[in-house]
Amino acid sequence: MYTYRTYRICRIFALLLIILTSTAKAQKVSISNNLLYDATLTPNLRVGVRVAPKWSLGLTAGYRPWPTNDKTDQKWRHLLISPSVRYWRDSVNVHHFFGANLIYAHYNVANLHLPFGLYKSLRDERHEGDMGAIGIFYGYSWPLGRHWNIEAMIGAAIGYARYNRYECGHCGRKIGREGTVFGMPQAAINIVYVLPGRPAKQKVVEPLPVVVIPPVIEEPVEPVAPVIVVPEPKPIEVLRSNNPFIHHISEYKPYDRSMSLRRDKEALYVHFPVAQSALQADFGNNSQIMNRIIEVTRKMMNDSTAELCKIQIVGLASIEGSVAGNEKLASNRALALQHYVQEQLQLPDSVFDTVGGGEAWADFRDQLQEFAEKESEQTAKELQQALDIIDRESDPNLRESRLRRLNGGRTWQYIKANILSDQRNSGYIRIYYEDVEVTENKD
């Protein structure tokens, strides 16, 4: 059974595995083993690769070569390959996921007594053939540490099998060849190893207490000024002094679309190419900002004197295009930044205050006003006309249309060249914390 066919299928599996892992680059790779499949004495392995913040691809293989003695009447020999795709509700390898898979197997089964009366014909016959199926499934993954997860999965598949029938026995007479449609359950309890792993928890070194040794005073005793001991600042105070976008939770304010975010000089921003919501580290200075966000948030998480309460993110789109399209684009940009932070730090959704701010009209008007104040008289006059349109026209679609036609399109060309690119962003507005009282143990 497992000669040239096995070799050919194994080559196909190896090729798929190479293609899958070659797309990984710096993405997450997971290697897992299904314990339920092991219980059937079938060695198996699955390799998964993160291809997007919430999507992963995987390839599963199982091979049961025994009994290797062809003269044995009872057989359950098979080779299985199954590519799959998963959608993760939070982020890859974290919590809920849904998926679909394709299944191919070549098998040689005989004298098999399955529970619940399944496949009764296999008790008195030997079947050798191929099957293909398509399935769907749901699962949940529990992170156990930096590298380890445990997954539970359940689903179902429907497929078609084409096989030869033989009289039971290792060399029984061929009875015929048949094909059949079948359904089967899917289940797994997976032990998962994740590479490169989640960020390690950094240890916080508490500052040593300040010991003040009074000076030795010889006679005669002169009046000595009192020694004032200045306590060491808390780590959160040091962190906040160097990162002004960190605030106490008492200062939290929900986002209002009338707010001009560009006036908040303390905010951090990542930017996006035109009409895109995928977060790109190599676009503009995104890499520097993304690294700073993760570094500062991790330090706050490791600070024993403060608790991370809320991360406020606002996504914006420029005023170009339809209002409905820009609403969706702004929301997706905000979510892209949230998913990046979650993936790096394993934070729950409840920590985030993530909103789509739609078209950045408040920021646009604010910047337009600044340009009108510093440009030449003629340009300033045309920009003032644009400001009047923004203030008087309430419909954003009509507002944009009138701006495009203003002064024969000359004013719009100026706006595109000098202003619009700044509004394609996610505003990482603020990180909020709450003080934690640290009690000292006294003997």
Q: What is the pLDDT of residue 143?
A: 85
- Whether 166 and 125 have beta carbons less than 8 Å apart is answered as yes
**CA dist 150 to 34, 60, 85, 89, 188, Å?**
10, 16, 18, 17, 10
Same domain, 245 and 382: yes
C-alpha 332 chain-centroid distance: 13
Q: Residue 142 is part of a domain; what is its CATH number?
A: 2.40.160.20
Same domain, 133 and 261: no
- The set of residues, in sequence order, having a beta carbon less than 8 Å from that of 33 and lying 6+ positions away, is 44, 45, 46, 190, 191
CA–CA dist 133, 63 (Å, integer): 17
Number of domains in the chain: 2
CA–CA dist 72, 70 (Å, integer): 5
Q: What is the pLDDT of residue 443?
A: 44
**Domain span at residue 172?**
4-195
Number of residues assigned to the chain:
443
> Cβ–Cβ contacts within 10 Å for residue 81, how many?
20
Is residue 317 a part of any domain in this protein? yes
The helix (run of H) or strand (run of E) holding residue 159 is strand 148-167
Is residue 219 a part of any domain in this protein? no
Q: What is the pLDDT of residue 225?
A: 67
CA–CA dist 236, 300 (Å, integer): 7
Query: End-to-end CA distance of the chain, in Å?
Result: 75
Same domain, 243 and 163: no
Structure tokens at 172: 């029984």
CA–CA dist 135, 100 (Å, integer): 6
164 HSE (CA, 13 A, CB side):
10
CA–CA dist 281, 266 (Å, integer): 21
CA–CA dist 441, 303 (Å, integer): 19
Name residue, tokens 């993110």. 313
Short-list 304, 275, 244, 280, CA closest to 428: 244
Same domain, 266 and 118: no
Q: Residue 335 is part of a domain; what is its CATH number?
A: 3.30.1330.60
pLDDT tens-digit profile, the chain (443 residues):
445 565 566 666 666 666 655 554 445 789 999 999 999 899 999 999 988 878 999 999 999 988 777 666 677 889 999 999 999 987 788 889 999 999 999 998 887 766 656 666 677 788 889 999 999 999 999 988 778 999 999 999 999 999 998 887 666 788 889 999 999 999 999 999 988 776 555 454 556 666 666 666 566 666 666 766 666 777 888 888 888 888 888 888 888 888 877 777 778 889 988 888 888 888 888 899 999 999 999 888 888 888 888 999 999 988 888 889 999 999 999 999 999 998 888 888 889 999 988 888 888 888 888 888 888 888 888 889 999 988 988 888 888 899 899 999 888 888 888 877 666 777 767 888 888 765 554 44
- The set of residues, in sequence order, having a beta carbon less than 8 Å from that of 382 and lying 6+ positions away, is 406, 407, 410, 411, 414
The helix (run of H) or strand (run of E) holding residue 248 is strand 246-248
Is residue 48 a part of any domain in this protein? yes
CA–CA dist 195, 49 (Å, integer): 10
Same domain, 172 and 279: no
Is residue 66 a part of any domain in this protein? yes
> Cβ–Cβ contacts within 10 Å for residue 351, how many?
18
Same domain, 124 and 249: no
| pTM, two decimal places | 0.51
